[in-house]
Amino acid sequence: MTAGAASPIQTVERYASIDLLRGVGVLGILVINIQLFSMPFAMSVNPTALGDRGTLDFAIWVASHLFFDQKFMTIFSLLFGAGILIMTSRAESHSGRSAALHYRRMFWLLAFGLVHAYLIWYGDILVLYAVCGFVVYPFRRRKPLTLLVLGLLALSVGAALGIAAGLAVSAASPEAQHEIVGFWAPDPATVQSEIDAFQGGWLAQMPMRVAYSMDFHTSDLWTWGVWRAGGLMLVGMALCKWRVLTGELPPRLYKTLTLAGFLIGLPIVALGVWQMKAWQWEAVRSYFLGSQFNYWGSLPVSCGWIGLFMLLGRQDSLRWFDARLIAVGRTAFSSYILTSLVCTFVFYGHGFALFATVGRPAQLVVTAAVWIVLLIAAPLWLRRFQFGPLEWVWRSLTYGERQPMRRGSTPAVLGIP
């Protein structure tokens, strides 16, 4: 590498607060993803899709919807935007340029995401992030307030498209409505075909996995995903410039963020659940209109989580746990893919074939087990290596040369003040 050329962010240059939040995101998003891994898709969005599953099952769905659904994806998206800002700023400080580096980075992320989506698990988020990464890069130098306004406008476009689609579908014939929102309450034959596919071997899963992935990449990604995730990435850049995500603000501001986030956001999300229940989970109103409550309510709830973990990161008594979360955050890419490999093996037919046989209470047990594995494995890995294995491959491809992997020593990091 020539002098002055861009190089990967080293451990000593990282913000521990961002890695901490990224680790929280990896763990938190599994509470929602475990439902996609283990049950027919409809059950993750509509708890009544397959009939009454009992009070405990419904209570777990409500709790996960209130505190987790879209909240940790939101945190991930904010952090991804902040990461783009930090990486490109560092590259520009070394060489004055960042475009080629950034677009190579997004290209390889897109490639990883396509492999993940079509060969491992249809719930992939990497493709969406790569596409948004291409789009938001030119806005990185805008002032924080401008980034915030642009981000909220993008989010508003996504919401407006959802409402418009709902109004259009509600005016359609019953047959057309069923075809469009049949996933919300599928017929028994459709459910059984999904169960048969994912309880089958890897090749037997392919048609269903490809169909789900293709549907998202050709429809939802453009009508919902880029507006949601892209808008949040712009907001994340603003919050990074305002030093919210880097953990540099006074504790009282994080306390305010925590209280305001939860007190504002949770009632909005809860109102959405109440409204969908009042509509008796009718497909068109619940999916297109009822989802708007969580679409917007998840934003302040996510800020509440950010404020809470920024405060917990300052507690000396929790330093040992924070260090494990930070390690998961520094291996977030590898941990994310490892989660997919483990969970598809547990639930799909090439492994234990438990798909559609595990209720929500047992899903939480699996989730906790995966958390424990990550919290143990990530620190052990980073004792010997600078990066997670997939982080290392991604960096080597991005920078066009093999990156050093083994750790010679353990340097200090930019800690949480």
**Could you report the per-residue pLDDT of 150-168, keeping only the tens digit for each?**
999 999 999 999 999 999 9
Q: What is the 3-state secondary structure (H, E, C) of the chain?
A: CCCCCCCCCCHHHCEHHHHHHHHHHHHHHHHHHHHHHHCCHHHHHCCCCCCCCCHHHHHHHHHHHHHCCCHHHHHHHHHHHHHHHHHHHHHHHHHCCCHHHHHHHHHHHHHHHHHHHHHCCCCCCHHHHHHHHHHHHHHCCCCHHHHHHHHHHHHHHHHHHHHHHHHHHHCCCHHHHHHHCCCCCCCHHHHHHHHHHHHCCHHHHHHHHHHHHHHHHHHHHHHHHHHHHHHHHHHHHHHHHCCCCCCCCCHHHHHHHHHHHHHHHHHHHHHHHHHHHHCCCCHHHHHHHHHHHHHHHHHHHHHHHHHHHHHHCCCHHHHHHHHHHHHHHHCHHHHHHHHHHHHHHHHCCCCCCCCCCCCHHHHHHHHHHHHHHHHHHHHHHHHHECCCHHHHHHHHHHHCCCCCCECCCCCCCECCC
Per-residue pLDDT, averaged over 188-209, amounts to 96
Per-residue pLDDT, averaged over 7-14, amounts to 49
Per-residue pLDDT, averaged over 382-411, amounts to 88
230 pLDDT more than 50: yes
pLDDT reported for residue 408: 67
Domain edges within the chain: 11-399
- pTM here? 0.93
pLDDT digits (tens, 9 = 90+) for 296-338: 999 999 999 999 999 999 999 999 999 999 999 999 999 999 9
pLDDT reported for residue 407: 81
Per-residue pLDDT, averaged over 165-188, amounts to 84
pLDDT band of residue 14 (cuts 50, 70, 90) is low
pLDDT band of residue 416 (cuts 50, 70, 90) is very low
pLDDT digits (tens, 9 = 90+) for 20-69: 999 999 999 999 999 999 999 999 889 999 888 899 999 999 999 999 99
Q: Mean pLDDT score of the chain, rounded to an integer?
A: 92
